[in-house]
Amino acid sequence: MASRRDDVRLPGVLWAGGHEATCVVSATRVSLLGLSAVAYRNYSIEQVSKDLPEGSYQLSVNGEIIPMRHHNGQWPAALIG
């Protein structure tokens, strides 16, 4: 079945250990043509509303919870959604 892929930006929330911040997340939206099924993949944090200490965080985006890390100013995914 054919699919369509679009790059999108979504609002998200990062939290851990009493720290919380809103963020903007880029993702790939995958739609199956002819169906109403949509999935989001390849989450990447683009912008965070405030500085957070390094460590492990949970990212809440589009109804999913994804483990993330903050290390050396970067947000590599601990698990790619």
Does the pTM of the predicted model rise above 0.85?
no
Q: What does the alpha-carbon distance between residue 27 and residue 45 come to, in Å, rounded to a whole number?
A: 9
pLDDT in tens, 9-59: 999 999 999 999 999 999 999 998 888 889 999 999 999 999 999 999 999
Residues 6+ apart with CB under 8 A from 64: 40, 81
Provide mean pLDDT across the span 68-79: 83
Sheet holding 38-48, edge to edge: 38-48, 19-32, 3-16, 55-61, 64-70
